Structure 1
Amino acid sequence: MTEIVPTMPAASAVPAAPTPAAGAAGATGAGPVLNPEFDTFLKMLTAQIRNQDPLSPMDSADYAVQLATFSGVEQQIRGNELLGQMLERTGGGGLADLSGWVGREVRAAMPVQLSGQAMRLELAPAPGAESAELVVTDAGGRVVGRHGLGPGAQSIDWAGGTDAEGRPLPEGLYDFEVVSFAGGAEIARETVETYGRVREVRLGPEGPVLRLEGGAEVAPGAVSALREGG
C-alpha cells in the first residue's frame, strides 16, 4: 500500500503581488501607505494559504486570478474618485454651465472698472455704526478718495471724482470699502459689492474663474447676484 505523504505547495507557487504603493515605497524610501483594503485582502489571502487542504492545495493560477480581480476593482474605484475630484474642481458642470454667464453682469466684492460712467454703489455700514466712510483705492492699493457716510443702508452714484490734488481719477480698476465707526473707533471694514460684465470664463488652478471688463477676476462662488447686461 502506497503511503501518501502530505505536502505543502512551494512558496514559489504563490505569485508575488507587488503593489504600486509598495513599489513606490521601495524606490523612494518613504512612499505612500499601503491601501487599507488591499492590506486586508492580503491578510485574508495569507490565511487562506495557511488553512488550505494540504492534500488539495489551491492552484497558483487561482491566486493570480484573485489578485487581478481585486486590482481591477481597486483601479475602478480610484478612477471614480479621480472623476469626482475633477467634477468638484470644475464646480460640477464647470465651464460649460458657466458659459451662459458671458455677456451678463455679476455682483461680487471685487474691483470695478472706472470708464467715465457713473456706477451705482449699494452701501451698508455695520449694525451699530454711528458713522462710516467710503474708502476708494486704486489698483496699486493707494487711497484716492474718502467720502463720509451716515449710519444705515444707502446708495450713491459714483462717477470717479478727483484725487487729493483735485485731478480727475484716470480710468482703471478701483476698490471700494465701507469703514464703520462707533465710539470714535473703527468697528468694521467691508469690501463693497458691485456689478461687472463677464467677458470670459476660464479654468484656473482652483477651478473656474470669471474674467470681467477691465481685467478683474472673481470666482463663481463669490457671486451673490446675476443679471442681464445693460
Structure 2
Amino acid sequence: MDISTTTTTRTPTAEATAARAAITSDFTTFLKMLTTQLENQDPLNPLDATDFALQLATFSGVEQQVQTNALITDLAAQMGLMNLAQLSGWIGQQAQTTADVHFDGAPVTLLPAPAQGADSAVLVVRNSNGAVVSRETLPLTGGAYQWLGADATGSPLPEGRYALSLESSRGEEVIATTPIASYAAIEEVRRDSGSVTLVLKGGVEVTQDDILSLRDG
C-alpha cells in the first residue's frame, strides 16, 4: 500500500502560524505609530478621538479577517488529510475510468457504449504519440469486452500507454466518437498541491472525480 503526500516548503499550518505572527507584529507597529502620533500632535489642535477609534476599528477588522482565513486554511488541511485516509482504502481495487490504459500483455476489460442508432462500432487505439495503431470492430450489444491488445495484423502491441476511443457509425457516417471506460488497479493515492491524485496501473494518473465506479481487484 502506497500513500504519499507531496508537500511544499510551508504546510498550511505553518502558513497560518506565520499569518498570526504577522498580525502580532503589525499590531505592535500600529501601536507605536499611534503613540508617536499622540506625542507629536499639535496641543492646540489635537486629533479627533473619533479618528483614533476608526483606526483601531479598521485594524481590528483586518486582524479578525486574517485570523478567520488562517482558521479556514487549518480546517481545509485537516479535511484534506481525512479525505486522503479514506481514499487509501481504494488501493488494490479496480477503478473504472475513461483515462488512458496501460497495456502489459494482459487483457484489459473495456465497457464500450455504442451510440444509439449506430449499425457499427469500432475501437480506435492510439499510442503515446497519438498515432492510430489498431482499429477493431466491437459488438453493438455493449457490455464488458476483453481487449487483447493486438494490432491490425493480430500481433500483440508493445507494452505501454494507449488512448482508446469508440467510433459509432451509421452506414458510412461516423455519428459519434466517445472515450471508452475501462478498469485498472489503483496503486497509489497521493496529495499534490491540495488535490488528491490516484495512480493507476502503469502510472496513469486520475483525480477522485474521474472514478466512475470501483470493484474488488
Instruction: State TM-score, norm by structure 1.
Output: 0.63
Q: 1:135 aligns with which of 106, 118, 124?
A: 124
CA distance in 1, matches of 2:211, 2:61: 45
Offset from partner CA, 1:82-122 (integer Å, 9 cap, x none): 5577689x5x8442232222222111001222222223222
| 1:69 to 2:69 alignment | no
| Gaps in structure 2 of 5+ consecutive residues | 1-47
| 1:151 to 2:140 alignment | yes
CA distance in 2, matches of 1:140, 1:218: 20
| 1:198 to 2:186 alignment | yes
CA distance in 1, matches of 2:156, 2:54: 81
Partner letter of residue 100 of structure 1?
Answer: G
Partner letter of residue 190 of structure 1?
Answer: T
Which residue does the alignment assign to 1:160?
149
CA distance in 1, matches of 2:215, 2:196: 19
**Is the 8 Å Cα contact of residues 130 and 150 (structure 1) preserved in structure 2?**
no
CA distance in 2, matches of 1:153, 1:193: 12
**Is the 8 Å Cα contact of residues 123 and 155 (structure 1) preserved in structure 2?**
yes
**Is the 8 Å Cα contact of residues 105 and 156 (structure 2) preserved in structure 1?**
no
CA distance in 1, matches of 2:143, 2:56: 72
**Is the 8 Å Cα contact of residues 102 and 159 (structure 2) preserved in structure 1?**
yes
SS in 1 for 2:144: strand
Larger radius of gyration: 1
Which residue does the alignment assign to 2:42?
none
Structure-2 change in CA distance of 1:66 and 1:122 (3 Å): closer
Name the stretch that deviates more: 178-187 or 58-67. 58-67
CA deviation after TM superposition for structure 1 residue 222, in Å: 0.8
CA distance in 1, matches of 2:141, 2:153: 30
CA distance in 2, matches of 1:110, 1:77: 39
Q: Which has the higher helix share?
A: 2
Which residue does the alignment assign to 1:7?
none
| 1:178 to 2:166 alignment | yes
CA deviation after TM superposition for structure 1 residue 134, in Å: 1.0
CA deviation after TM superposition for structure 1 residue 145, in Å: 1.3
Partner letter of residue 67 of structure 1?
Answer: T
Q: What is the root-mean-square deviation in Å for CA atoms of aligned residues? A: 3.1
Offset from partner CA, 1:118-166 (integer Å, 9 cap, x none): 23222110112121111122222221211123434243222222x2455
CA distance in 1, matches of 2:115, 2:214: 24
Partner letter of residue 140 of structure 1?
Answer: N
Which residue does the alignment assign to 2:94?
105
CA distance in 1, matches of 2:78, 2:171: 49
Which residue does the alignment assign to 1:224?
212
CA distance in 1, matches of 2:149, 2:165: 15
Aligned pair count reads 173
Offset from partner CA, 1:186-230 (integer Å, 9 cap, x none): 11111111111111112235721111121111111010111222x
CA distance in 1, matches of 2:75, 2:112: 40
CA distance in 1, matches of 2:74, 2:102: 38
SS in 2 for 1:201: strand
Whose RCO is larger (CA < 8 A, sep 6+)? 2
Structure-2 change in CA distance of 1:124 and 1:63 (3 Å): closer
